[in-house]
């Protein structure tokens, strides 16, 4: 199977939860599935005596019902202020790096090698790898340092679904603008759009879907309603995440929420079309 990648028009668009839902959906279909995010910036980790990765990939692994391992998130950046982060590689603390050093000296050399190695390991050992992008692929100031969006999608031979948060407004412009700013040789990787956090009458949106496809040649394959979930949040926009204890009780709660999430996503997305993309 080909790999699948979820990218977003912005941070907070819903990439993390959508990957978790798709991991559960395809696990329920009998595939062996693993999530993957080459680089994650978060101060909230899943910590074991042997390694630490972002807790987002750990939760996605619960969705996939796969082993939680460093390859799921080979690069973790823990911000410490003054444009610096503590860098974890393969789950182990590496060193503190300033953003300039990280981007200009590390990302396109050791960083990409490390991410590519983990990705290849997962692709070898699982039927399906569902990848999560970071931020937006249209951040044109950072495209030459891209390690988490289109470059890694290309390396994975992955089809890309682009998700946008319609609750914030401006979603049609965000999708069209993102497509316009993605480098042309990567545009063909984008196979579908997803509107997330929608509330209202979908018939009001449908004329816009047709116009959007005419502009971009990319169809809308899902409109996910705004739902309330009791899943641990990442320390990103508009959230105040708390540490959690990874005991059986809390893992069971997460599992129940993932089941709830996956049912809603499955009923509001064209899963059949996604399966065809993966053949």
pLDDT in tens, 162-217: 999 999 999 999 999 999 999 999 999 999 999 999 999 999 999 999 999 999 99
pTM summary value: 0.95
At residue 144, the pLDDT reads 94
Parallel, antiparallel or unpaired: strands 39-41 and 75-81: parallel
pLDDT in tens, 34-82: 999 999 999 999 999 999 999 999 999 999 999 999 999 999 999 999 9
Token code pair at residue 203: 């018939």
Asked if residue 238 has pLDDT above 60, the reply is no
């Amino acid at each position: 199977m080909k790999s699948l990648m979820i990218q977003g028009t912005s941070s907070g668009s819903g990439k993390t939860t959508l990957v978790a839902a798709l991991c559960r959906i395809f696990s329920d279909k009998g595939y062996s599935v693993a999530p993957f995010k080459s680089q994650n910036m978060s101060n909230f980790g899943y910590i074991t005596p042997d390694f630490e990765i972002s807790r987002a990939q750990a939760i996605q692994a619960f969705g996939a019902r796969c082993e939680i391992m460093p390859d799921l998130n080979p690069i973790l950046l823990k911000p410490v202020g003054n444009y610096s982060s503590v860098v974890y590689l393969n789950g182990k603390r590496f060193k503190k790096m300033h953003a300039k050093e990280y981007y200009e000296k590390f990302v396109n050399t050791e960083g990409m090698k490390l991410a590519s190695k983990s990705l290849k390991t997962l692709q070898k050992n699982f039927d399906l790898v569902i990848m999560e992008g970071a931020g937006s692929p249209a951040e044109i100031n950072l495209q030459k340092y891209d390690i988490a969006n289109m470059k890694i999608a290309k390396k994975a031979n992955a089809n890309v679904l682009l998700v946008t948060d319609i609750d914030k407004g401006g979603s049609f412009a965000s999708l069209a603008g993102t497509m316009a700013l993605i480098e042309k040789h990567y545009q063909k990787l984008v196979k579908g759009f997803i509107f997330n956090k929608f509330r209202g009458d979908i018939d009001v949106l449908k004329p816009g879907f047709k116009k959007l496809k005419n502009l971009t040649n990319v169809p809308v394959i899902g409109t996910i309603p705004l739902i309330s979930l009791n899943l641990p949040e990442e320390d990103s926009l508009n959230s105040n995440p708390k540490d959690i204890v990874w005991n059986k009780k809390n893992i069971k709660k997460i599992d129940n929420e993932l089941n709830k999430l996956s049912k809603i996503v499955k009923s509001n997305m064209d899963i059949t079309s996604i399966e065809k993309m993966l053949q």
